[in-house]
Amino acid sequence: MDSTNNAVIQVENLTKVYQLGKQEVRALSGVTFRILPNEFVAIMGPSGSGKSTLLNLIGCLDTPTEGEYYLSGKLVSSLSENELAYIRNSEIGFIFQVFNLLPRATAFHNVELPIIYKGEGKRERALKAQRALEMVEMEHRMHHRPSELSGGERQRVAIARALVNNPSLLLADEPTGNLDSKTGQEILNLFHRIHSQGNTIIIVTHDMDIAQQAQRIIFIRDGMIEREERKGA
Protein backbone atom coordinates (compact mmCIF):
# COMPACT_ATOMS: atom_id res chain seq x y z
CA MET A 1 0.00 0.00 0.00
CA ASP A 2 1.20 3.55 -0.77
CA SER A 3 1.91 5.20 2.58
CA THR A 4 3.01 8.51 1.09
CA ASN A 5 -0.44 10.09 0.92
CA ASN A 6 -1.84 12.24 3.73
CA ALA A 7 -4.19 9.70 5.34
CA VAL A 8 -4.09 9.63 9.15
CA ILE A 9 -5.25 6.02 9.14
CA GLN A 10 -4.75 3.59 6.29
CA VAL A 11 -5.50 -0.11 6.68
CA GLU A 12 -5.40 -2.87 4.09
CA ASN A 13 -6.72 -6.41 4.51
CA LEU A 14 -6.72 -6.06 8.30
CA THR A 15 -7.54 -9.43 9.87
CA LYS A 16 -7.68 -10.48 13.51
CA VAL A 17 -8.05 -14.10 14.62
CA TYR A 18 -8.24 -15.09 18.30
CA GLN A 19 -7.39 -18.59 19.47
CA LEU A 20 -9.85 -19.80 22.13
CA GLY A 21 -8.64 -23.26 23.07
CA LYS A 22 -8.86 -25.30 19.88
CA GLN A 23 -11.31 -22.89 18.30
CA GLU A 24 -10.37 -19.94 16.08
CA VAL A 25 -12.54 -16.83 16.31
CA ARG A 26 -12.22 -14.48 13.35
CA ALA A 27 -13.01 -11.04 14.77
CA LEU A 28 -11.96 -9.12 11.63
CA SER A 29 -11.64 -10.40 8.09
CA GLY A 30 -9.91 -8.34 5.40
CA VAL A 31 -10.89 -4.80 6.43
CA THR A 32 -9.62 -2.00 4.15
CA PHE A 33 -10.27 1.76 4.46
CA ARG A 34 -8.56 5.10 4.99
CA ILE A 35 -9.34 8.15 7.13
CA LEU A 36 -8.10 11.64 6.28
CA PRO A 37 -7.04 14.41 8.68
CA ASN A 38 -9.92 16.15 10.49
CA GLU A 39 -12.52 13.55 9.47
CA PHE A 40 -15.25 12.68 11.98
CA VAL A 41 -16.02 8.99 11.41
CA ALA A 42 -18.42 6.60 13.16
CA ILE A 43 -17.80 2.85 13.08
CA MET A 44 -21.15 1.18 13.56
CA GLY A 45 -22.23 -2.40 14.00
CA PRO A 46 -24.08 -4.80 16.31
CA SER A 47 -22.47 -6.41 19.34
CA GLY A 48 -19.82 -8.90 18.24
CA SER A 49 -19.38 -7.33 14.80
CA GLY A 50 -15.69 -6.57 15.36
CA LYS A 51 -15.93 -2.80 15.80
CA SER A 52 -14.18 -2.66 19.20
CA THR A 53 -11.47 -5.04 17.94
CA LEU A 54 -10.94 -2.65 15.02
CA LEU A 55 -10.70 0.33 17.37
CA ASN A 56 -8.11 -1.50 19.50
CA LEU A 57 -6.00 -2.14 16.39
CA ILE A 58 -6.30 1.48 15.28
CA GLY A 59 -5.29 2.57 18.78
CA CYS A 60 -2.19 0.33 18.76
CA LEU A 61 -3.58 -1.58 21.74
CA ASP A 62 -3.52 -4.84 19.78
CA THR A 63 -1.79 -6.23 16.69
CA PRO A 64 -3.45 -7.70 13.59
CA THR A 65 -3.04 -11.34 12.55
CA GLU A 66 -2.71 -10.23 8.93
CA GLY A 67 -2.76 -7.00 6.96
CA GLU A 68 -1.05 -3.62 7.12
CA TYR A 69 -1.83 -0.54 9.21
CA TYR A 70 -0.27 2.85 8.54
CA LEU A 71 -0.71 5.60 11.12
CA SER A 72 0.24 9.03 9.74
CA GLY A 73 2.32 7.27 7.10
CA LYS A 74 4.17 4.98 9.53
CA LEU A 75 3.82 1.22 9.19
CA VAL A 76 2.74 0.32 12.74
CA SER A 77 4.14 -3.24 12.62
CA SER A 78 7.63 -1.78 12.08
CA LEU A 79 7.56 0.35 15.25
CA SER A 80 9.30 -0.58 18.51
CA GLU A 81 7.45 -0.99 21.82
CA ASN A 82 8.83 2.39 22.98
CA GLU A 83 7.60 4.06 19.80
CA LEU A 84 4.16 2.48 20.20
CA ALA A 85 3.98 3.57 23.86
CA TYR A 86 4.81 7.13 22.81
CA ILE A 87 2.10 7.08 20.13
CA ARG A 88 -0.51 5.74 22.57
CA ASN A 89 0.32 8.45 25.11
CA SER A 90 0.95 11.45 22.87
CA GLU A 91 -0.61 11.06 19.43
CA ILE A 92 -3.85 9.22 20.28
CA GLY A 93 -6.48 10.16 22.86
CA PHE A 94 -8.68 7.31 24.16
CA ILE A 95 -12.22 7.75 25.51
CA PHE A 96 -14.11 4.74 26.90
CA GLN A 97 -17.72 4.00 27.86
CA VAL A 98 -16.72 3.20 31.47
CA PHE A 99 -14.61 6.38 31.88
CA ASN A 100 -11.62 4.45 33.41
CA LEU A 101 -10.91 7.17 35.99
CA LEU A 102 -8.86 6.45 39.11
CA PRO A 103 -11.48 6.50 41.91
CA ARG A 104 -9.22 7.98 44.62
CA ALA A 105 -7.70 10.68 42.41
CA THR A 106 -9.26 14.08 41.79
CA ALA A 107 -10.37 15.15 38.33
CA PHE A 108 -7.18 17.24 38.11
CA HIS A 109 -4.90 14.31 38.94
CA ASN A 110 -6.75 11.98 36.55
CA VAL A 111 -6.20 14.45 33.73
CA GLU A 112 -2.58 15.04 34.76
CA LEU A 113 -1.66 11.34 34.57
CA PRO A 114 -0.75 11.10 30.85
CA ILE A 115 1.59 14.12 31.23
CA ILE A 116 3.34 12.48 34.18
CA TYR A 117 4.13 9.52 31.90
CA LYS A 118 5.79 11.99 29.51
CA GLY A 119 8.07 13.16 32.32
CA GLU A 120 7.14 16.85 32.16
CA GLY A 121 7.70 19.21 35.11
CA LYS A 122 5.10 19.95 37.77
CA ARG A 123 4.33 23.49 36.60
CA GLU A 124 3.89 22.45 32.97
CA ARG A 125 1.68 19.53 34.04
CA ALA A 126 -0.54 21.83 36.09
CA LEU A 127 -0.96 24.30 33.23
CA LYS A 128 -1.82 21.59 30.70
CA ALA A 129 -4.24 19.77 33.02
CA GLN A 130 -6.06 22.99 33.88
CA ARG A 131 -6.25 23.98 30.20
CA ALA A 132 -7.72 20.59 29.27
CA LEU A 133 -10.33 20.83 32.04
CA GLU A 134 -11.25 24.33 30.87
CA MET A 135 -11.79 22.96 27.34
CA VAL A 136 -14.50 20.63 28.66
CA GLU A 137 -15.87 23.21 31.14
CA MET A 138 -14.84 21.22 34.21
CA GLU A 139 -12.27 23.52 35.81
CA HIS A 140 -14.72 24.30 38.66
CA ARG A 141 -14.82 20.57 39.55
CA MET A 142 -11.11 19.81 39.25
CA HIS A 143 -10.64 18.97 42.95
CA HIS A 144 -13.56 16.52 43.07
CA ARG A 145 -13.14 12.74 42.90
CA PRO A 146 -15.12 10.66 40.38
CA SER A 147 -17.62 9.52 43.05
CA GLU A 148 -18.52 13.20 43.55
CA LEU A 149 -19.25 13.76 39.85
CA SER A 150 -22.22 12.90 37.65
CA GLY A 151 -21.84 10.49 34.73
CA GLY A 152 -21.64 13.37 32.26
CA GLU A 153 -19.04 15.16 34.39
CA ARG A 154 -16.95 11.98 34.62
CA GLN A 155 -17.03 11.61 30.85
CA ARG A 156 -15.96 15.24 30.45
CA VAL A 157 -13.00 14.55 32.74
CA ALA A 158 -12.16 11.45 30.69
CA ILE A 159 -12.27 13.58 27.51
CA ALA A 160 -10.00 16.18 29.15
CA ARG A 161 -7.55 13.38 29.99
CA ALA A 162 -7.66 12.23 26.36
CA LEU A 163 -6.97 15.79 25.14
CA VAL A 164 -4.26 16.81 27.62
CA ASN A 165 -1.31 15.82 25.40
CA ASN A 166 -2.91 17.51 22.39
CA PRO A 167 -3.31 14.33 20.26
CA SER A 168 -4.29 14.65 16.61
CA LEU A 169 -6.47 11.51 16.79
CA LEU A 170 -9.31 10.81 19.24
CA LEU A 171 -10.76 7.30 19.56
CA ALA A 172 -14.02 6.89 21.47
CA ASP A 173 -15.61 3.51 22.27
CA GLU A 174 -19.37 3.95 23.00
CA PRO A 175 -18.64 7.30 24.75
CA THR A 176 -22.30 7.99 25.52
CA GLY A 177 -23.26 4.39 26.38
CA ASN A 178 -23.60 5.00 30.13
CA LEU A 179 -25.28 8.40 29.82
CA ASP A 180 -28.89 9.57 29.45
CA SER A 181 -29.85 11.02 26.07
CA LYS A 182 -29.58 14.70 27.14
CA THR A 183 -26.13 14.26 28.68
CA GLY A 184 -25.07 12.10 25.74
CA GLN A 185 -25.96 14.90 23.33
CA GLU A 186 -23.95 17.37 25.43
CA ILE A 187 -20.93 15.06 25.09
CA LEU A 188 -21.48 14.80 21.32
CA ASN A 189 -21.68 18.59 21.10
CA LEU A 190 -18.31 18.65 22.84
CA PHE A 191 -16.94 16.22 20.21
CA HIS A 192 -18.18 18.55 17.46
CA ARG A 193 -16.37 21.46 19.11
CA ILE A 194 -13.15 19.42 19.38
CA HIS A 195 -13.52 18.33 15.75
CA SER A 196 -13.91 21.96 14.64
CA GLN A 197 -10.47 22.64 16.17
CA GLY A 198 -8.82 20.19 13.77
CA ASN A 199 -8.86 16.82 15.52
CA THR A 200 -9.60 13.56 13.69
CA ILE A 201 -12.30 11.67 15.61
CA ILE A 202 -13.45 8.05 15.39
CA ILE A 203 -16.46 6.93 17.44
CA VAL A 204 -17.51 3.30 17.79
CA THR A 205 -21.24 2.94 18.41
CA HIS A 206 -24.25 0.68 17.87
CA ASP A 207 -26.62 3.69 18.01
CA MET A 208 -27.68 5.11 14.63
CA ASP A 209 -28.65 8.49 16.13
CA ILE A 210 -25.07 8.92 17.37
CA ALA A 211 -23.48 7.58 14.17
CA GLN A 212 -25.46 10.05 12.06
CA GLN A 213 -23.72 12.96 13.77
CA ALA A 214 -20.45 11.94 12.11
CA GLN A 215 -19.43 13.01 8.60
CA ARG A 216 -19.05 9.40 7.54
CA ILE A 217 -20.28 6.04 8.82
CA ILE A 218 -18.46 2.73 8.28
CA PHE A 219 -20.88 -0.15 8.85
CA ILE A 220 -19.21 -3.36 10.03
CA ARG A 221 -20.81 -6.78 10.36
CA ASP A 222 -19.26 -10.21 11.01
CA GLY A 223 -15.78 -8.69 10.93
CA MET A 224 -16.17 -7.14 7.47
CA ILE A 225 -17.12 -3.71 6.13
CA GLU A 226 -20.71 -3.97 4.96
CA ARG A 227 -21.00 -0.48 3.46
CA GLU A 228 -20.17 3.19 4.00
CA GLU A 229 -22.30 6.34 4.10
CA ARG A 230 -21.22 9.97 3.86
CA LYS A 231 -23.25 12.86 5.25
CA GLY A 232 -24.95 14.69 2.41
CA ALA A 233 -24.03 11.99 -0.10
CB 117 within 8 A of CB 89: yes
Task: Say which CATH number the domain at 23 has.
Answer: 3.40.50.300
Read off the pLDDT of residues 105-161 as tens digits, 9 standing for 90 and up.
999 999 998 888 777 788 988 999 999 999 899 999 999 999 999 999 999 999 999
Q: Is 214 inside a domain boundary?
A: yes
pLDDT score of 2? 45
Is the pLDDT reported for residue 211 higher than 60? yes
Is the pLDDT reported for residue 43 higher than 80? yes
pLDDT score of 232? 63
pTM of the entire predicted model: 0.89
Q: Is 104 inside a domain boundary?
A: yes
Is the pLDDT reported for residue 1 higher than 80? no
Q: Is 4 inside a domain boundary?
A: no
Stretch 221-230: mean pLDDT: 94
CB 223 within 8 A of CB 27: yes
Separation between Cα atoms, residue 203 and residue 173, nearest integer Å:
6
Q: Is 116 inside a domain boundary?
A: yes
pLDDT range class, residue 4, cuts 50, 70, 90: very low
Stretch 163-173: mean pLDDT: 91
Q: Is 212 inside a domain boundary?
A: yes
Number of domains observed in the structure of the chain: 1
State the DSSP string of the chain.
----S--SEEEEEEEEEEEETTEEEEEEEEEEEEE-TT-EEEEE--TTSSHHHHHHHHTTSS--SEEEEEETTEEGGGS-HHHHHHIIIIIEEEEETT----TTS-HHHHHHHHHHHHT--HHHHHHHHHHHHHHTT-GGGTT--GGGS-HHHHHHHHHHHHHTT--SEEEEESTTTTS-HHHHHHHHHHHHHHHHTT-EEEEEES-HHHHTTSSEEEEEETTEEEEEEETT-
CB 179 within 8 A of CB 151: yes
Q: Is 184 inside a domain boundary?
A: yes
Q: Is 49 inside a domain boundary?
A: yes
Is the pLDDT reported for residue 233 higher than 70? no
Q: Is 177 inside a domain boundary?
A: yes
* Average pLDDT of the chain to the nearest whole number: 90
Alpha-carbon dihedral of residues 158, 160, 164, 168, nearest 10 degrees? 90
pLDDT range class, residue 231, cuts 50, 70, 90: confident
Stretch 46-67: mean pLDDT: 92
Stretch 203-227: mean pLDDT: 93
pLDDT score of 55? 92
pLDDT score of 102? 92
Stretch 171-185: mean pLDDT: 89
Q: Residue 55 sits in which domain range?
A: 9-230
